[in-house]
Every structure is written in structure tokens, then in C-alpha cells.
Chains A and B, each alone.
Chain A
Amino acid sequence: MTRYAITVLEYAASPKHPTSGVLYGRHNSGSMNLPFAYVLLRGRDTVALVDTGYDQSDFGGEIANTIGVTGWSPPSEVLGAVGIRPDDVQHVFLTHADFDHMGGLAYFPNAKFYIQKREIESWIWALSKGRRFRSLLGGINPTDVLKLVDLGMKNRLVVLDGASHDVLPNIDLLPAFDTHTAGSQYVVVRNGGSLEDRWVLTGDVVYTYENLHGGDRDDPCFVPPGLATGSQTNLILTAEEMLAGVGGDMLRLVPVHEEKLKDHFPSRLSDRGLRITDITTL
């Protein structure tokens, strides 16, 4: 049975992120620390990443600055803290195209990238709509879309059309269409035959555990993320689908913007003060 170690690697943070951006409808509720992270999957012969972070030196960095993201570190340092070089990464699963998830394409010269066709098409559609629709585009760096095209021309892009099972042994990419973005997807890692061995890497369909319980664990209520270009209802329904896929165990969902991961899984700080969280090891 192919198994994967799963490690969440923080690469930056937004220390005073508006709570309303994380929890729909939580207006006038102050701010919270929001880690920015990607996920490393390590198998016996495999190094894969879920999302890429962004590049501080390009427009992604400017977007980050405008929303108060600080402490960015390059993948060489973030991955280096766990003994991996960016060159070692063979596969990158892109949950969606927002700058903080897809802005680091160029850092992984040997990787093949996987994204949903609908995600690409929807952003090009949105780009075509003109300035009055620019609120749809606040989260993307347009040149990342060009870079994606470049990868396509170099046969380093796998464009998926819906659910894709076993893209790598025991790894599924499942659509989360019309949720956080039009063509989002999430990653299921099946480390064994039972639900207890299954992990869901949520992308931005779920930012934090509170999106799953609404702050009331005794009487939980789905509260979708505050930022989305798709449907709030679909965000909730996809969160329900994710939970169903792991037998309802919230801790089998891995939201990368969740600061409280460290309360549930072993973690440590890198030399740069960025958190490394081992969700599961081999």
C-alpha cells in the first residue's frame, strides 16, 4: 500500500487578517492570524506538493503586501527546513489559481502541475469581462495564468476535467466547482483501506476548523469562508462531502490557513519562525 507523509509548511502569515474574510458574515469581528502554507506529500519514491505559495518579487508579492501578509520565505528555505529542495518536487496539485496558491509555479522546475480545466477557463473568462468585473479578480496574478499556459506548452501541465482518481497511487483530485473559485479542487490521500487512513487537503474550500463547526462544537454549524467567487451554498455542501469522505472526523480535514493545526498535530518552528506541522508520518 502506497502511503504518504503529510506535512503542512507555513511560508508566510497575515497576522491581522479580517475575520470576516475567513468566516462568512462575521462582520465587525476583528482580526485573526492567518497562516499561509502549502502541503508536502512524501512517499517512498514521490515528492509532491499541494499548491505553491507565491513569489514575493512579482505582482503576487504586491497583492500580499496590500492585504497585510508578512514573513514570506522562498520554497528553498521552507522546504529546506524538512530536507527537500524545490528541484525534488515531482508533482504539484493546484487547488485553485489564487496568487497565494499558484503564484510560485516557477520555483519548481522539475514538477508537473495538475489543475482543473474549469479553473483555467473561468479565470480567462473573468479576465475578459472588463474593469467593472475586477472584484472577481482580486486574488489572482494575471501573469500566473500566462505561466500556466507556458507549462502547458512544455507538457508540464495536466488539465483535469472533473474527478481524477489515483493521479498518483492512492491520491485523488476531486472537484469543488463553484465554491471558493469556479474550478477549485481538493486532494484526498488514502493512506490505507479504512476511513481512518484518509486525509482531505481542503484548499480554500475550508480555511479553518471553524468553517466546519461555526464555533459551537456541541451544535455545529457550517460557516463558509468569507471570500469566494462561487457559491456559499456549494462551499457548505462540499465541506459536507469532504467530511463524509472521512467518516465525519473533522481532524481528517487539513485546512492550510488553520492556525490551530498545531494544537492537534506535532509541530515545530523553523529557523525563520515558520511552523512545520506533521499531519502524518510514514
Chain B
Amino acid sequence: MSGFVGAQFRADDPFEGIAPGSAVAEYDIVIGPVVRYLRDVVTDRSVRLLANFIGTSHLGDESKPDAGDSDQVYDVLAAVRVPLQRRHEHHHVKQAAHLLLPTRAAALAPHLRTSEASLLSRAWGHLRRASPVGSGGLIDLRQCCGQLNLGADFLIGASE
């Protein structure tokens, strides 16, 4: 997966209706790639966990989120100006980062004793509340699970 800092914003990103230059718009633009990066992290790890659990699959894409981006996430979170309207969302971004990014979360330790599945489940919960402009609710594990190459149509008899 590519680094979030270089992410390109598309015209269909959910910023419609927010005045350009406003504090909210600025926050959304800055934090959007962070949220997408965290989605990639939690998705990647969820997919690996599920693949290991069912034990009949392998990953079609062995790439991982760029480890160097973790520090950048913390840098952005520390630097971004959080408008009042986004405090709630920002709280959830920070919680998700704390759960998912071990390098700095290690200093806060308690989550390390949580199982991977439990941790990822909680991270999903935070991330779906963290999207700028409440863009649709669910963080889409479904979309990102497209990475899995299960070769498993037989599992539900689709090819029977």
C-alpha cells in the first residue's frame, strides 16, 4: 500500500458543502489520508487474521502498509488543528492509532495484552466513527478484503 502522505484527493471525496478554507475543511483534508491509512492497516491485519483462522487460504497480496507512515500519523495527529465540530471524530482517530500503531502505543502498554482479533474489532469501531463528514459509517472491511485470494469458491459450493 502506498504512503498516506502522498494520497491524492479525488473530486468525489466527501467534502461537499464545506466552505474551502474553513477550519473544518482544513481538518478534513489533513486527517483524511490518516484515516485511510489506518483503515488500510486494520484491514490488512484483519485479512491476515481471518486467513490464518480459516486455514485454507493464502494472501494474494503480501504487501503491508509502509511502516514509516506510522510516525507520520502521530506527527499529523499532533500537528493538526482540531475544530470543535471534529473533536469527537478526532478522539476516535487517536484511539484507533493508539490501538493499531505499536511503535508509540508501546509506551501506553495496556492494549498490548489484548488479542489481535479484539484489538482489530475495537479499532474498526473507532475508525467508523472517525471519518470526516461521517462518510457512510462502516469502514469497509468488505472492500479491502478483496486482497484475499482465497481460491475458495468451493467453500460455499459456488462451483459445485
Are A143 and B124 in contact (CB-based, < 8 A)?
yes
On chain B, the residues within 8 Å of A26 by CB distance are none
Most A CB within 10 A of own CB, among B51, B138, B150, B155: B155
Instruction: Let me know if B75 is at the binding interface, CB within 8 A.
Output: no
Q: Mark A153-168, 1 if CB is under 8 A from B, else 0.
A: 1100000000000000
Are B156 and A142 in contact (CB-based, < 8 A)?
no
Instruction: Let me know if B70 is at the binding interface, CB within 8 A.
Output: no
B47-62 CB contacts (< 8 Å) to partner A: 47, 49-51, 53-54, 56-57
Q: How large is the interface on B (under 10, 10 to 19, 20 to 34, 35 or more residues)?
A: 20 to 34
With A130-B146, A150-B115 as given contacts, are A125 and B141 in contact (CB-CB < 8 Å)?
Answer: no
A159→B155 CA distance, assembly (Å): 15
Are B53 and A149 in contact (CB-based, < 8 A)?
yes
Instruction: Let me know if A128 is at the binding interface, CB within 8 A.
Output: yes
A117-141 CB contacts (< 8 Å) to partner B: 118, 120-122, 124-131, 133-134, 137
- The total of chain A residues at the interface (CB under 8 A) is 32
A82→B152 CA distance, assembly (Å): 44
Q: Mark A216-240, 1 if CB is under 8 A from B, else 0.
A: 0000000000000000000000000
Name 6 extra pairs, CB < 8 A, besides A142-B142, A147-B121, A152-B53: A59-B125, A127-B50, A128-B147, A130-B142, A130-B143, A147-B117
Report the 6 A-B pairs with minimum CB-CB distance, sorted nearest first.
Answer: A150-B117, A128-B148, A130-B146, A127-B145, A142-B141, A182-B156
Q: Show the binding face of A for B, using Cβ within 8 Å.
A: 58-59, 62, 118, 120-122, 124-131, 133-134, 137, 142-143, 145-147, 149-150, 152-154, 177-178, 182-183
